[in-house]
Amino acid sequence: MPLQDYLFTSESVSEGHPDKVCDRISDAVVDTFLAADPLARVACETLTTTNLVVLAGEVRGPAEVAQNRDLLEQVARDAIKDIGYEQDGFHWKTADVQVHLHAQSSDIAQGVDAAGNKDEGAGDQGIMFGYACDETDELMPAPIAFSHRILKSLAEARKSGATGILGPDSKSQVTLRYANGKPVGATSVVVSTQHADAATTEEVREYVRQHVLKVLPDGWMCPEDEFYVNPTGRFVIGGPDGDCGLTGRKIIVDTYGGAAPHGGGAFSGKDPTKVDRSAAYAARYLAKNVVGAGLATKCVIQLSYAIGVSKPLSVYVDTFGTGTVDEAKLAAALQEVMNLSPRGIREHLKLSRPIYARTAAYGHFGRTPEDDGGFSWERLDLVNDLKSALGG
């Protein structure tokens, strides 16, 4: 029997966290390439520290982008400016931005490219997971959903000018109590946020409290002695000036907050031929539609691929005993309603578009599908197809 009464914790980090600054820059580079050529290949890693940004990786795309270091430097600066860094130790205008992107390996390209009767292959081997559950309206685990919402609310207030006491760098952590397998309230909430030097600890605490109360359902607030805001007492030096950042270090924050397995591959900085990204999106899309169709209240899907091979090597479905249909039949139906080759995923979800910078903070999942195709993997448009494939 699965555990029904327990505590579960997830964390989130803001767009100003050093690692998220790197994710944002890397995804802005992806968007720049895809805007110029939807079939561009990008694998961009970013490192940040005190007034230094380093871009490295492999690309294939139009020369006016790939060979334009001034353009790519400006892309990085614009991302930093939008996040809000104008500090002595990290400033969008004065940071040293180094661009070290080079041509994609021809060995990798020949395995991925379509040629003759060979379809487009996966950009790498690996396993990817997707997950959905009925704990929130967006069919996400509640602890990570609330952790994201708290930080997003604080960021919106900061960027709108509603407050001048907050800085861009922040983290949240929410622990929820589950009864009979369902979340019923918070037992602790932790928020650490960068703040102005003149702001007092109590001032920051009371401002943060407003946003936590706005996000949590009525009656869910944790006990006062379990509400932690800046537990160290001071958080003025933040962002890359306080801690080195790297692309791809917040993969649990990006996904399900630890409530589901993770294949290990990061998303940011990768074009959609990389199955680390596109197949994880597809797995979430399928899992969400399974739960949205009422076929389960909880569903995890694993996909696996080999570099250069177009078909998935395996499709695994687990509904944790909540499913209304046999899982083997469900796995077959999922492959019937969606082509899970790298090309099939890319075309079905229309991923070859500049839609990635917006994914770099507050989670890749549980977001609202957008008119230009952003977060297309959050749509619930397979519900009827799934029911039909299962004879419903």
Query: Where is the binding site for Mg(2+), in residues?
Result: 19
H helices of 175-224, in order, are 201-215
Task: Count the helix, strand and coil residues of the chain and give each as a percent rounded to the nearest 5.
Answer: 35, 25, 40
Known binding residues for L-methionine:
58, 104, 243, 274
Distances (CA, A) of 208 to 149, 162, 235: 12, 13, 14
d(CA 104, CA 289): 35
DSSP label of 122: B
Known binding residues for K(+):
45
Taking a C-beta distance cutoff of 8 angstroms, is the pair 97, 53 a contact? yes
Coil, strand or helix at 262: coil
Taking a C-beta distance cutoff of 8 angstroms, is the pair 166, 195 a contact? yes
DSSP label of 125: -
d(CA 249, CA 22): 9
Tokens of 326: 């046999």
DSSP label of 319: -
Taking a C-beta distance cutoff of 8 angstroms, is the pair 302, 314 a contact? yes
Known binding residues:
17, 19, 45, 58, 104, 169-171, 234-235, 243, 249-250, 266, 270, 274
Residue 202 main-chain phi, psi, to 5 deg:
-70, -35
Known binding residues for ATP:
17, 169-171, 234-235, 243, 249-250, 266, 270
